[in-house]
Structure 1
Amino acid sequence: MSSAGAKTGPGVKAPAPLKLPLAGARGTGFLGARLGNLAVPKKAEAVCRASHDRGLSATVQSALTTEAPSNTVSATRDGKGTKVMIIGGDGYCGWATALHLSARGYSVCILDNLCRREFDMQLGLETLTPIASVHDRVKRWGEVSAQNIHLEIGDLCDWDFFSDAFRNFAPDAVVHFGEQRSAPYSMIDRQRAVFTQHNNVIGTINVLFAIKEFKPDCHLVKLGTMGEYGTPNIDIEEGYLTVTHNGRTDTLPYPKQAGSFYHLSKVHDSHNILFAARAWKIAATDLNQGIVYGVRTEETMADPLLINRYDYDGIFGTALNRFVVQAAVGHPITVYGKGGQTRGFLDIRDTVRCIQIAIDNPAAKGEMRVFNQFTEQFSVRDIADLVKRLGAPMGLNAEIIQIPNPRVEAEEHYYNAKHAKLEELGLQPHLLGDSMIDSLLEFAIRYKDRVRMELIKPAVDWRKTPVTSGTAKAAVKAD
């Protein structure tokens, strides 16, 4: 998922013992060799195959044929060879997006240094799902779809590597997922706060310079976060706010109130992209995404080796993912504080469609437009109650408990965020109805023997981010 930097510049060091590919590595390197033989356990593979057809679903099969039906978007090869580089394409959103676009005729290149996998090794975490190596994933996708995904293994923060890869592929659009994306990870200790900001901000600057220097017409589709806005006591607009002050009116970037060093890195990205759009006439779309849920897309469920990751731990797991796993294994559903924290949510199937919509409808040169990328709003307590209610008919007697909030945030607040632009461009949302929760619960029950109970609890306290390393106790919090 992430494209964290092995080279970090003068005076800045990546968190030890993070080991990343050597500069300029292509398709190999430390992590590539170390993870290349990762296999899906036979038991899990059998379970996966029982849940779906061995080959591609009918929808995806039709999407991979030249004479495809035109009545559904997923069944048309409308990419027409458009070249899309997906930075962070081995991650949760990136992998699903890469397959979605490849199935629809886009020419896809994944660029990733695989450090998201290294974070798991470093912190003792493990995805609920048994994911294969990126090399095996890409190979298997080629076998089941007859579509080739180009793979570049290396570091976005290494300009020599990235600029070479960018020029060789010459993308028409860059989809930038390649950042350290966890707020708790950024708050583990000083080292990871510095790492997160350096990796995310410098990586984005490298993308902007590559577009300016080598492909000025390339459209940047950058994944932001709704967390940039915070929880203001007014409606949240899509990126910009028109204000009148002392009799004068202007439209300005919406004020930001980020809640972690991770969210602050996204704010810095937004400012840098806006400047580059203005100064260099770069076309950019900033997608402020809500909380994504779900594992299944048509493509990731086409074969066991293509399955996506499912994070449920206290570092990378979202509230919904955690609650579902907690209910499945008989652990109390742990609501942070009062549970009134309200956020935007969207299905992973909508994430990949939003990316496609942004690519197919690019921003104008010199424009940085902002879309709020979510479909529904729920409070943390709403989500907990929904999981509890829908788990009962499945024999899950989930208890909801409140625990001290490790974050510094308003636990009850006004929240009304606008999110009309993507739907105006054609997004047809999948809503978090009963069937979606049911499928998540069924998925968690299926893999519950892989759940490690000690990873469920929160382990990072925003108020105590230390100067010294917090790696040893970051993932697992003692009672």
Structure 2
Amino acid sequence: MQCPMMQNQRAGRRAAKAASQQSVASMRVGGRVCALRASVGRKAASAAQVASRAVSVKVNAIATIERPAGPAPTSSGGGAGTRVMIIGGDGYCGWATALHLSARGYEVCIVDNLCRRQFDLTLGLDTLTPIATIHDRVRKWAEVSGKYISLQIGDICDWEFLSQAFTSFQPEHVVHFGEQRSAPYSMIDRQKAVFTQTNNVVGTLNVLFAIKELKPDCHLVKLGTMGEYGTPNIDIEEGYLTVTHNGRTDTLPYPKQGNSFYHLSKIHDSTNMLFTCKAWKVAATDLNQGVVYGVRTEETMADPMLINRYDYDGIFGTALNRFVVQAAVGHPLTVYGKGGQTRGFLDIRDTVRCIQIAIDNPAARGEMRVFNQFTEQFSVNQLAEIVNREGRKLGLDVVVQNVPNPRVEAEEHYYNAKHTKLVELGLQPHLLADSMIDSLLDFAVQYRDRVRMELIKPAVDWRKTGVKVNTMGAAVAK
């Protein structure tokens, strides 16, 4: 994930770049990595500490776990040494994907500036499951699996850093998770809205230029969102729609109706990708992903230090995650508005498999293909019913409560989205009803002592987004 920049950081970036050559030598793993290390359970830092961290992240540091002498470990199948760069590999989807691919023999390089952690420090949030630092995660993975993940710390909005990362790793595929991914975060205030669109659009543009100039045969796998489509009163196709108008027919990109500054940034990304596929013959797969749930994958459960994050707060937590945590701690399930809002969902185990499928079956040069990446559709009310039913099996007393909706969205609407292409390529979905307890409720019950009740209620109202910086009021509702 990319890091929000404070107003004085432009000057700080120039200073950081000037110092970076001296810093890189001292910032190598095995030589005392000097990087952001947010320890498990650390509370929000002071304003001065946050500013310091924001600037230090901009240093173009490369921190690589060096492979020991001797033959490379034998592949466990699938990847056969295919080189995959995962931008945003310290995040929720990125971390699970990095381990999944590494375990199957792909050569993986994580690129991240650790700013998803910075968001928690800035806003006073914390993941339900305690997560280790990225450096400790990568080291532990090497110990557990015998496989080695390269780690490059820097900001893809910084062309000098990104071009260096591309040149040194020479990726055959780039999986791009590295964007600010929260709709509520983008609606906190003007500063967060501007950051979200600047960071996401510029970062993706830099990746497209890196492919064109440095690795033209590289395949881009970009994480989009089903939220790009909005909730139209017609079926949602996979990326494109064939239209007949005034007697003429054409196949066009499906109309987009983003519902936050975050979703709008994703729409801009898709438009830029489509253009570069035409103009530069970039090969791109746009994965319009639904809401992802779950903590458990085979790799993230191999050791406690490899566990994935679980967000339940009003900024980064989804409705399903919030309901599960509320059930675990005896808090009413807070349904926004009428609860008829319907979306696509998929298990994290299906997310990592979808990424692998996209890599193993790449787009052609000049092709911009779109997959709708989800496996089931549920309304918010249906999610509450499922959590209620499954929670009672564990002896939890679950109550459902409707609350005013902080978002501007249709609360009752038609929703029928196609999602056949990944299944045709071999995806075998996990279903929510089968995995609710072992992949969600078990974790919420196990870690419920870490739940901070004040973070559960929504604190960001779409109607009240203003120019005044609202960091202090973003996470905790008044």
* Residue aligning to 2:211: 211
Partner of 1:82: 82
Aligned to 2:124: 124
Q: 1:343 to 1:188 in 2, by over 3 A?
A: same
Assess if the C-alpha contact under 8 Å between 2:36 and 2:114 holds in 1: no
Secondary structure of the residue that 2:326 maps to in structure 1?
Answer: helix
Which structure 2 residues correspond to residues 256-275 of structure 1 after superposition, within 5 A? 256-275=256-275
Corresponding residue of 1:144:
144
TM-score using structure 2 length: 0.88
Report the equivalent of 2:458: 458
Counterpart code for 2:37:
G
Cα 1:418–1:443, aligned 2, differ >3 Å: closer, same or farther? same
After superposition, the Cα gap between the structure-2 partners of 1:283 and 1:110, relative to the gap in structure 1 and judged at 3 Å, is same
**Which whole-Å CA distance do the structure 1 matches of 2:275 and 2:371 have between them?**
18
Is 2:334 the counterpart of 1:334?
yes
Residue equivalent to 1:293 = 293
Summarize the Cα distance change of 1:435–1:39 in structure 2 as closer, same or farther, 3 Å threshold.
Answer: closer
1:5, CA displacement in angstroms?
Answer: 6.1
Q: Which amino acid aligns with 2:39?
A: L
* Distance across 2 between alignment mates of 1:325 and 1:428: 28
Mapped contact 1:109–1:150 kept (Cα < 8 A): yes
- For residue 38 of structure 1, report the CA deviation from its aligned partner: 2.1
Matching of residues 104-253 of structure 1 within 5 Å: 104-253=104-253
- The answer to whether 1:101 aligns with 2:108 is no
User: Residues of 1 paired with 2:413 and 2:312: CA distance?
Assistant: 26
Q: Deviations over 1:37-96 (max 9, x none)?
A: 72589xxxxxxxxxxxxxxxxxxxxxx9848xxxxxxxx511010100000000000000
Alpha-carbon distance change, 435 to 174 in structure 1, aligned in 2, over 3 angstroms: closer
Q: Do 1:36 and 1:136's aligned partners in 2 also have CA atoms closer than 8 Å? A: no
Match for 2:389: what amino acid?
R
Please, which moves more after superposition, 461-470 or 428-437? 428-437
- Structure 2: tracts of 5 or more residues without a match: 43-71
Partners of 2:469 and 2:73 lie apart in 1 by 52
For 1:3, the aligned partner's letter is Q
Contact 1:293 1:347 in 2 (8 A): yes
- Residues 472 and 174 (structure 1 numbering): CA distance in 2 closer, same or farther, change over 3 Å? same
Give yes or no for contact 1:231–1:414 (8 Å, CA) kept in 2: yes
The AA in structure 1 aligned to 2:272 is N
Q: Which runs of 4+ in 1 moved over 4 A?
A: 12-16, 18-29, 32-35, 64-67
CA deviations on 1:355-403 (whole Å, 9 max, x unpaired) are 0000000001000000000000000000001101111122211110000
1:443 shift after superposition: 1.1
Using the alignment, how far apart are the partners of 1:14 and 1:181 within structure 2? 24
* Cα distance, 1:340–1:135 mapped onto 2, change above 3 Å: same
Task: Provide the aligned length of Structure 1 versus Structure 2.
Answer: 439
Do the aligned partners of residues 418 and 13 (structure 1) sit closer, same or farther apart at CA in structure 2, a change above 3 Å counting?
farther
Q: Which amino acid aligns with 2:202?
A: I
Q: Distance in 1 between matches of 2:386 and 2:9?
A: 38
Distance 1:204 1:21, change over 3 A: farther
- Distance across 2 between alignment mates of 1:171 and 1:4: 23
Q: Taking structure 1 as reference, are residues 429 and 20 closer, same or farther at Cα in structure 2, changes over 3 Å only?
A: farther
Work out the CA distance in 2 between the residues paired with 1:382 and 1:20. 51
The one-letter code matched in structure 2 to 1:174 is: V
Kindly provide the amino acid, as one letter, of the partner of residue 441 in structure 1: L
Residue in structure 2 matched with residue 4 of structure 1 by the alignment: 3
Q: CA RMSD in A?
A: 2.2
For the pair 1:367 / 2:359, whether they are aligned, the reply is no
SS at match of 1:108: strand
* Alignment partner of 1:38 is 2:39: yes
> Separation in 1 of the partners of 2:435 and 2:155?
40
State the partner residue of 1:351.
351
The aligned residue for residue 283 of structure 2 is 283
CA contact (8 A) 1:15 1:192 kept: no
Cα distance between partner residues in 2 of 1:460 and 1:235: 30
Identity among equivalent positions (%) equals 74
Structure 2 counterpart of 1:4, which letter?
A: C
Query: Structure 1 residue 313: deviation in Å?
Result: 0.1
Query: Would you say the 8 A contact 1:5–1:158 is kept in 2?
Result: no
The residue number in structure 1 matching 2:475 is 475
Against the structure 1 CA distance between its residues 65 and 162, is the aligned structure 2 distance closer, same or farther, given a 3 Å change threshold?
A: closer
Provide the residue aligned with 1:73 in structure 2: none
Contact 1:176 1:222 in 2 (8 A): yes
Distance, in Å, in 2 between the alignment partners of 1:317 and 1:36 is 23
Specify whether residues 432 and 37 from structure 1 end up closer, same or farther in structure 2 by C-alpha distance, changes over 3 A only.
closer
Matched letter for residue 312 of structure 2: Y
Maintained 8 Å contact 2:336/2:405: yes
Q: Give the alignment's TM-score, normalised by structure 1.
A: 0.88
Offset of residue 14 of structure 1: 8.7
- The structural deviation recorded for 1:34 is 6.3
State the partner residue of 2:444.
444
Question: Does the C-alpha gap of structure 1 residues 395 and 319 become closer, same or farther in structure 2, counting only changes over 3 Å?
Answer: same
| Corresponding residue for residue 390 of structure 1 | 390
Describe the SS at the equivalent of 2:93. helix
Taking a change above 3 Å as real, the CA distance of residues 109 and 21 of structure 1, as seen in their structure-2 partners, is farther
